[in-house]
Amino acid sequence: MVEATNIGLEDVGNDKSKTFDFLPTSTTGQIIKHEYYTLSYSEKAEQAEWIAYELKKRYLKKNNFQKPFFNEDSKVKTGSADWRNYKSSGYDKGHLCPAADMGFDNSAYNDTFLTSNISPQDHDFNAGVWNRLEQKVRYWASMYNGVYVVTGGILGNKIGTIGDEAVVVPRFFYKVLLDNSNGEYKMIAFLVPNKKSDRPLYNFVVSVDSLEKMTGIDFFPNLEDKIENSLEKTNDYKAWLFN
């Protein structure tokens, strides 16, 4: 595991100079910074091991942007996977940072269609339980005036691979959220199988500690240790509003 990076996610509007300083550690050493999100790219898995960004309430805007083609990420030195790996694979090109989270800016929206931001997802998972979770994250961003989001696949536990570049198909995907809107931090994490499910979202809540053991990633290394240790060991979701 490499040390935590100081690279941050730039905010927008009047807070442009502020940075997101809760980035996870990278197990790959290849951290890519885009204007509104940061990722750690795994060349071995041909996808990001995590995508991290801040989703503020004011970012939640619907748009009429034209949907772009998927393109390789020129910032990935080893080259991100070609979208053709997904063709006829039976899997969706699943966004890790949803395009709907970047509706406030055309450039930010287009960046979500870089192949470093996609992972093979079962269609019923992508359009079903994962979509429900993405909508819930936007609901919380609205309720709490913004949340920090980290998401990715469990790359060490795969269903198989697709395409000529052997893009890993994760068996599970995760999201970790951090909020401090009321002056006190709270955290919640989800681990969801890459398949169809009608189960309530709270059934997928896990401790951040368990995800760190599965991935080798320290999700919020820049949090004060006492706060980090307390939050990461719990899987209590009662502090978060479910409806």
Which amino acid, one-letter code, is at 4? A
CB 232 within 8 A of CB 185: no
DSSP 114-132: BGGGEEEE-HHHHHTHHHH
End-to-end CA distance of the chain: 38
In DSSP terms, 27 is beta-bridged to none
Task: Mark whether 95 is an active-site residue.
Answer: yes
Phi and psi torsions of 215, nearest 5°? -105, -25
- Residue 118 CA to residue 26 CA, distance in Å, equals 18
Question: What does the alpha-carbon distance between residue 102 and residue 51 come to, in Å, rounded to a whole number?
Answer: 13
Of these residues, 34, 95, 136, 138, which one is catalytic?
95
Q: Does residue 63 have a known ligand-binding role?
A: no
The size of the chain, in residues, is 243
Give me 219's structure tokens.
Answer: 């999700």
Q: Which amino acid is at 123?
A: H
Annotated binding site for Mg(2+): 126
Annotated binding site: 126
Catalytic residues: 95
